[in-house]
Structure 1
Amino acid sequence: MANEAKPCPCEIGDRMEYGGRGQEVQIEHIKSYVVKPSSGSDKAVIVIHDVYGWQLPNTRYIADMLAANGYIAVCPDFYVGKDPWSPTSDWSKFQEWLEDKKATSINREVDAVLRFLKEQCGVHLIGSVGFCWGGVAAHHLALDYPEIKAGVSVYGIIREREDCFELKSPVLFIFAEKDEVVPLEQVSILQARLKEKCTVDHQVKIFPDQSHGFVHRKREDINPSDRPHILEARSDMLNWLNKYI
């Protein structure tokens, strides 16, 4: 981590007072937030939460936005009932807390969600979007699940896999210039290695003057100077999904 004293500043930004338009449902062994568009759709996006878990209003806001744009959005509890991180938790215990919540160890849950989408929702085209911890997970899905046709990894990056540059599906990587968790030197390495190793479409985009969490943790209505970047990143996310799904 770039900042061992505080390895994930995800509480930066604004916690939304937002209830959501969807429903909480049980998908096999995991609870999930599911929201569907007003008209039928055979397209879906798996929305992967940050360290604050699947019930964070900010993440549900993004899921609802995806549904408003024609996608069935599913945000599963990838911690499977274990407590998410809390802003009041001791940051010195973060790595210990993370030990049984690896973003690259979610295949059982992903498989369950894929079955649900295909068998119960009639979905044929699936993408993924993830934030921070979920950004790492979205990167992971692009390596292990070619059936997921597109991914958007928002301020998340895999560091430990040797094959992490050999994407099997197109991925848009969104980063912040002033991110303490994923510094620009790591982004530069990612860009160079993707150019060298990756055979599918990909894009790495860095937003100037932004900090970790800006896409889903900052409210565009009360952060006027950040608003153009927030809206641009969300538009990029939708455009990328629309291009491949």
Structure 2
Amino acid sequence: MSLSSCCVTGFRWDGTPKGHETTLADKKAYVTGTNKDAAVLIVHDIFGWTLNNTRLLADHYAEEADVTVYLPDFFAGEIVTPDHLFGSGDHASTGPLDVGAFIGRHGKDIRQPEIFACAAALKKDLGYKKVGAIGFCYGGWAVFRLGAKGNNLVDCISTAHPSLLEKAEIDAVGCPTQLLAPEEDPTYTPELKEYSLKVLPTLNIDYDYQYFAGLTHGFATRGDTENPTQKKGLERAKNAAVSWFREYLH
């Protein structure tokens, strides 16, 4: 169970997020959107809740799917700076990111209770009738656990290039599930892709498996908007998630 170096590469996007910062289940969170009935919880990638790209995506979901989107901090205030996106930058003060140690600090057993608490708060405390969840990279395993049979925390899940995902988590999912899978991905491996396609049809749930030829891990949140293939892929992934949320949260 690991993340790879590709989890800390990619491109920064331009734009100014439209939402504001608040708290959700005692976690700092970015929130955007005005719908009082339908919400989406984003479980972020290794760059956390402050990454501009993810906040801009949240704005798109809020506006285009007519939902209120919450992007909480699930790394206890630790920020991986976007300098790492370029695989270089000035790390003199911090040194290069030790991905293994980072995941040790933010393992599933440590962060799952917080992620579950945020999802539960959306319905129990804030009164949303429908809640969806989307996870990128690190967040992939988390949304599968949120959507597991019997949890009744979310009404649908989506994930792009999930990391740390295990077969047992695929087996257990019990709500409509969307997978956005790039061709090249050392974390969502060919074996896991094949397993997903074998198991999902047996679970008696709606599912949507979308394959992105020629694209790599991280494309949906850190793709290069100057590259036509990557731009088309990240737009298609955004549109797929929007249509998924429109379908299952309204």
**How high is the TM-score relative to the length of structure 2?**
0.83
Separation in structure 2 between the aligned mates of residue 187 and residue 100 of structure 1, nearest angstrom: 27
- Alignment root-mean-square deviation, CA: 2.5
**Alpha carbons of 1:176 and 1:111: their partners in 2 closer, same or farther (altered >3 Å)?**
closer
Match of residue 207 from structure 1: 212
Match of residue 82 from structure 1: 78
Separation in structure 2 between the aligned mates of residue 185 and residue 136 of structure 1, nearest angstrom: 16
Q: 1:20 aligns with which of 17, 20, 28?
A: 17
Question: In the TM superposition, what is the alpha-carbon distance from 1:106 to its structure 2 partner?
Answer: 3.3
Q: 1:56 aligns with which of 33, 48, 51?
A: 51
- Figure out how many residues of one structure are paired with residues of the other and give that number: 237
Question: In the TM superposition, what is the alpha-carbon distance from 1:60 to its structure 2 partner?
Answer: 0.4
Q: 2:40 aligns with which of 42, 45, 57?
A: 45
Gaps of 5+ in 2: 85-90
**Deviations 1:62-106 (CA, angstroms, capped at 9, x unpaired):** 111111121100000011223447725545x32222113124653
Match of residue 87 from structure 2: none
Separation in structure 1 between the aligned mates of residue 112 and residue 118 of structure 2, nearest angstrom: 10
Question: In the TM superposition, what is the alpha-carbon distance from 1:199 to its structure 2 partner?
Answer: 2.2
Partner SS, residue 162 of structure 1: helix
Q: Higher helix fraction: Structure 1 or Structure 2?
A: 2
Q: 1:10 aligns with which of 7, 15, 25?
A: 7
Separation in structure 1 between the aligned mates of residue 121 and residue 191 of structure 2, nearest angstrom: 39
Separation in structure 1 between the aligned mates of residue 81 and residue 28 of structure 2, nearest angstrom: 17
Match of residue 30 from structure 2: 33
AA in 1 matched with 2:221: H
Separation in structure 2 between the aligned mates of residue 151 and residue 28 of structure 1, nearest angstrom: 20
8 Å Cα contact 1:166/1:199 also seen in 2 = no
AA in 1 matched with 2:4: P
Separation in structure 2 between the aligned mates of residue 208 and residue 231 of structure 1, nearest angstrom: 14
Deviates more, 1:117-126 or 1:41-50: 117-126
8 Å Cα contact 1:51/1:85 also seen in 2 = no
Gaps of 5+ in 1: none
Match of residue 122 from structure 2: 117
Match of residue 95 from structure 1: 100
Q: 1:228 aligns with which of 229, 232, 235?
A: 232
Separation in structure 2 between the aligned mates of residue 192 and residue 34 of structure 1, nearest angstrom: 36
**Alpha carbons of 1:68 and 1:103: their partners in 2 closer, same or farther (altered >3 Å)?**
farther
Partner SS, residue 135 of structure 1: helix
Partner SS, residue 225 of structure 1: helix
Match of residue 191 from structure 1: 197
